[in-house]
Amino acid sequence: MPEGVIVKALSGYYYVKPLENGMAASGGGDGIQCRARGIFKKKGVTPLVGDHIIYSHTENGEGMVDEILPRSSELIRPPVANVDLAVLVFSVREPELNLQLLDKFLVHIEHSGLDTVICLTKQDLLSVEDPREDPAAVVKELYENIGYQVIVSSSRLGLGTDLLQERLKGQISVFSGQSGVGKSSLLNRLVPGLALETSAISMRLGRGKHTTRHVELIELEQGGFVADTPGFSQLDFLELGVEELSTCFREFASYADQCKFRGCSHTHEPGCKVLKAVEEGKIAASRYEHYVLFLTEMKDKKRRY
């Protein structure tokens, strides 16, 4: 039976493209419309966009998902499998840059074991002359020092598009971030003729409408796919253990190994090298504050459940 990859899931249907040399065949629209066998529901398993599957053709010209092949990665929110790269899209204006939310997304992605690119959008809305007052420049320096690639972009000006296209080549990438930050506009720039729906920002609420209502893999001209996903304004940590949180802050690693106590929470213990690094300015204060905030949030949630 043939192998394929699910490129779209919508209303109980899975749209499958045949696999050629390990990658989905180019062209052919949405692919073959398939249903999933009832056995998956009995086992509590849901096929995901990005899944490599074995499928069969049915008499009505559609198909049936028969088997889900082992996944190399799996995101719970957004629900996508076999992703290589996460592109976290955040705007510098409209809505305002939210570093707490950015760090929440980074924790989620680090826990999933994916490589990450931070893409800052709407640079054209800034009119600052001093780089020290440019939030994009400040964020770029902060997160590149930690080890993340940061691409500053503007869909209106085409800024950063070429750099991002090169980074996405030959991979399955997931685009995610807060609603209204310009993910759809950015994808329209990356994929000519795509014409994804975009929406204006609600100035009262400071956030955009969710213009993307389902997860779908969008084919890139240079090879590879990107997953456009519904905009999320919050994430939760139910799938992440309290003891795992500090490992999702990658700049903690070299200091945490030297802590006096094994299993150090990096909040109050004597001889904590992470705390010392924060005091010495080697770890950014904003990152540490968010770590403590997330830790408290997770502990409170754990008590309630």
174 is in an annotated binding site: no
206 is in an annotated binding site: no
Closest listed residue to residue 49, CA positions, set 88, 87, 7: 7
266 is in an annotated binding site: yes
282 is in an annotated binding site: no
177 is in an annotated binding site: yes
113 is in an annotated binding site: no
124 is in an annotated binding site: yes
231 is in an annotated binding site: no
- The helix-helix angle for 183-190 and 161-168 (nearest 10°) equals 80
123 is in an annotated binding site: yes
184 is in an annotated binding site: yes
Report whether 173 contacts 188 (CB < 8 A). Answer: no
33 is in an annotated binding site: no
Render the burial of 10-33: b for 16+ CB within 10 Å, e for the rest.
eeeebbbbebeeeebeeeeeebbb
173 is in an annotated binding site: no
119 is in an annotated binding site: no
Report whether 117 contacts 164 (CB < 8 A). Answer: yes
178 is in an annotated binding site: yes
Report the half-sphere exposure of 222 (CA within 13 A, side-chain side). Answer: 13
248 is in an annotated binding site: no
Which residues sit in the known binding site for GTP? 121-124, 177-185
Which residues sit in the known binding site for Zn(2+)? 259, 264, 266, 272
Which residues sit in the known binding site? 121-124, 177-185, 259, 264, 266, 272
